[in-house]
Amino acid sequence: MPVMEADKTDPIRAEELKSQANEAFKAHKYAQAIDLYTQAIELNGQNAVYWANRAFAHTKLEEYGSAIQDASKAIEIDPKYSKGYYRRGAAFLAMGKLKEALKDFQQLKKICPNDPDAAKKLKECEKAVMKLKFEEAISVPESERRSVADSIDFHLIDVEPQYTGAKIEGDVVTLDFVKKMIDDFKNQKSLHKRYAFQIVLQVREIMRALPSLVDINIPEGRHLTVCGDVHGQFYDLLNIFELNGLPSDENPYLFNGDFVDRGSFSVEVILTLFAFKCMSPSAMHLSRGNHESKSMNKIYGFEGEVRSKLNETFVELFAEVFCSLPLAYVLNEKVFVAHGGLFSVDGVKLSDIRAIDRFCEPPEEGLMCEILWSDPQPNPGRGPSKRGVGLAFGADVTKRFLQENNLDLIVRSHEVKDEGYEIEHDGKLITVFSAPNYCDQMGNKGAFIRFEAPDMKPNIVTFSAVPHPDVKPMAYANNFLRMFQ
């Protein structure tokens, strides 16, 4: 007798899995929640709730592309399911796609005309879109734009006699100054704008002179430490220096992008990193992350924080300096370091990266976009990005890139990892993330990697979060986005 194939649908078991997924979600175990929602969907794919819940879990992991796909599926199954529009609108918003978000919140209001929350979100979204249109209308074309740096002379800014904070004597940023500044920041005091301008302008000059891909030579017996995303977590940054020593010519660091946004001490983080760069350019190397961009800073808090702690001129100035940050580094001709990952085409050479004209806001496609946004995937080949920007690339892509460029290893950041790091692609790719208990809720460790010459084997150190003053992450973020936190 032929064996009847078992019925793949099992609504009761699917509901059990959904309940387990909800519990994992509440415990901030978002990857586990996604896995359980996926199992529920496999048993009952016509339940819009499962898709919308999985979309929410993807949002928590910043996988906005996947969130949009799942929410769209929920809407397809049930066009009147309000949460589908809510989740998709929130994901569009997180990607900075305000006009798409607006359409979803308009639809949400139609479905729930008497829901005050839906009305409030629609109103905020309309305000955000109006603001965006106004900014677009008054913006000067890139070609006609004058550098804001050229209009600033920090020497003309007086320092009031009652100012007791850190001071730069003359033009030289010293270790004593940096230590005093860090100490002031620890006690939630601010740096005088004169010295903040001096630091940022000096870093701009240093960075503009560098190529888009920088080669670093670590002499035999010496080392260099690579850190991943710090995301405005100033007190965790200080803990890295506590554990691994302050930056110096003998103890150099490379911070691999995403210094700012989300954490609410981003101004302190960026001024500290920049001050070390001024003190000794070879003690501090900085590469650009996807959050060193105007569109991200507008949404995720850095722009609001700069306005609050410094002023409007600094918003423009930081945007300019971020456009001068290198995109990648190569350590001792062996280790490739970049924030995001690899490319949608094979055959990209280091010389191609070196030739990128990086002095601009990141485009939405091409090599510069991909190096800032891409992520590794377990499957071979290439796939769509969970984030909706860049792409996902497999171990074979990593292997070919390394072989073609005569390299041994890729180090990248860009993704939260439970242990602060993850080794993938047959040991040829390491993700390092240096913001422990990310956004005060993920419970992850942070990590950094120490490379010692000549063998350049990665020595990974993990660490836990330290306490910080009671200022919540995203405290300065776009009002509209904060409504979804």
- Segment 336-379, tens digit of pLDDT: 999 999 999 999 999 999 999 999 999 999 999 999 999 999 99
Question: Would you state the pLDDT for residue 481?
Answer: 66
**Residue 291 bears catalytic tag:** yes
In the predicted model, what is the mean pLDDT of residues 420-443? 97
Given a cut of 50, whether residue 287 has pLDDT beyond it is: yes
The domains of the chain are located at: 11-138, 148-482
Given a cut of 90, whether residue 37 has pLDDT beyond it is: yes
Angle in degrees, CA 131, 137, 142, rounded to 5: 115
CATH code for the structural domain at 11-138:
1.25.40.10
Output 440-444 pairs: Cβ under 8 A, ≥24 positions apart: 440/472, 440/473, 441/28, 442/28, 442/416, 443/28, 443/418, 444/416, 444/417, 444/418, 444/419, 444/420
pLDDT tens by residue, 90-100: 999 889 888 99
In the predicted model, what is the mean pLDDT of residues 453-475? 96
Question: Would you state the pLDDT for residue 1?
Answer: 43
Given a cut of 80, whether residue 289 has pLDDT beyond it is: yes
Residue 5 binned pLDDT confidence (cut-offs 50, 70, 90): very low
Question: Would you state the pLDDT for residue 2?
Answer: 46
* Lowest-confidence segment of 127-136, 240-249, 450-459 by average pLDDT: 127-136
Q: Which residues contact 180 (CB under 8 A, 6 or more apart)?
A: 165, 166
Given a cut of 60, whether residue 7 has pLDDT beyond it is: no
CATH code for the structural domain at 148-482:
3.60.21.10
Question: Would you state the pLDDT for residue 431?
Answer: 98
Question: Would you state the pLDDT for residue 133?
Answer: 83
In order of 10, 14, 45, 54, the CA distances from 4 in angstroms are 16, 22, 21, 32
pLDDT tens by residue, 108-167: 999 999 988 888 888 888 888 888 788 878 777 766 778 999 999 999 999 999 999 999
Given a cut of 60, whether residue 304 has pLDDT beyond it is: yes
Given a cut of 70, whether residue 312 has pLDDT beyond it is: yes
Catalytic residue among 58, 231, 291, 414: 291
Given a cut of 60, whether residue 332 has pLDDT beyond it is: yes
Given a cut of 70, whether residue 476 has pLDDT beyond it is: yes
Question: Would you state the pLDDT for residue 117?
Answer: 84
